[in-house]
Amino acid sequence: MIAVMKSKIFYCALVIFTITVQGCYSQTAPTKKNNVMDNQKKNPVYSNTDTSKVVLSDDEWKKILPSDVYNVARQKGTERPFTSAYETSHETGTYYCAVCGNALFKSDTKFESGCGWPSFYEPISKSSIIYAPDDSYGMHRTEVMCGRCKSHLGHVFDDGPPPTHLRYCINGVVLDFKKAQEAEKNYNAQQNKSDNK
């Protein structure tokens, strides 16, 4: 168990080091997630209900996506660790693909891996994710992409918690979170109660 933890910590350190080195050569500063509503107005393929596949040219993606989303989603970039507000978020709801709106993960499968990126142990459905081998940077990893628009999301590792023991390590910039309506209603009711006291 300690050996597993050690190798996990070593791996995290390695990834952070790689990203930091990459970051030194990158001209683009990490930008805060742009206003989701503005993005969606500009993006004609965004839908939380349409499951038909989206195939656009690189030029078309470049036009409709904010540069930070385009960089990760279409150029397989990696956001800097510990920069996504979703990494430590505990809100109840659903995480969608920020590129096309496809439902990807439920908040109850999210856990804090400590690795610097939002982590989940299970996707929302089998078809929500596409997998591909990734041997870049001298590592053997499995890339995960959106099942609808094939955007790069992150990687999956086999050191996650039960029941799947998988860790989907996802760039927060390509996620779009929506609170569960039921949970939101309960929360608002609670707020009203305490306001009336």
Q: What residues are labeled active site?
A: 169
Q: Smallest distance from the beta carbon of 52 to Zn ion, in angstroms?
A: 12
**Is 146 near Zn ion (CB under 5 A)?**
yes
Number of other residues whose CB lies within 10 A of the CB of residue 124: 18
- The sheet that has 93-97: what strands, in order across it? 103-106, 93-97, 175-179
Q: Which is nearer to Zn ion, 97 or 175 (CB)?
A: 97
Q: Which of residues 149-178 bind Zn ion (CB under 5 A)?
A: 149, 151
Q: Smallest distance from the beta carbon of 102 to Zn ion, in angstroms?
A: 4
**Residue length of the chain:** 197
Q: Smallest distance from the beta carbon of 73 to Zn ion, in angstroms?
A: 8
Q: Nearest CA to 73 among 47, 49, 101, 94? A: 101
* Alpha-carbon span 75 to 77, nearest angstrom: 5
Q: Which is nearer to Zn ion, 148 or 155 (CB)?
A: 148
**Is 124 near Zn ion (CB under 5 A)?**
no
Strands (DSSP E) found in the chain: 93-97, 103-106, 110-111, 119-120, 129-134, 141-146, 152-157, 167-170, 175-179
Q: Look up residue 186 and give its amino acid.
A: N
Q: Nearest CA to 172 among 54, 37, 78? A: 78
Region from 15-23, 58-66, 94-102, 128-136 binding Zn ion, contact rule CB under 5 A: 94-102
Q: Which is nearer to Zn ion, 15 or 169 (CB)?
A: 169
Q: Smallest distance from the beta carbon of 147 to Zn ion, in angstroms?
A: 7
For Zn ion, what does the binding mask look like between residues 28 and 67, x meaning CB under 5 A? ----------------------------------------
Among 99, 144, 153, 170, contact with Zn ion (rule: CB under 5 A): 99
Q: Look up residue 135 and give its amino acid.
A: D
Where on the chain is the footprint of Zn ion (CB under 5 A)? 97, 99-100, 102, 146, 148-149, 151
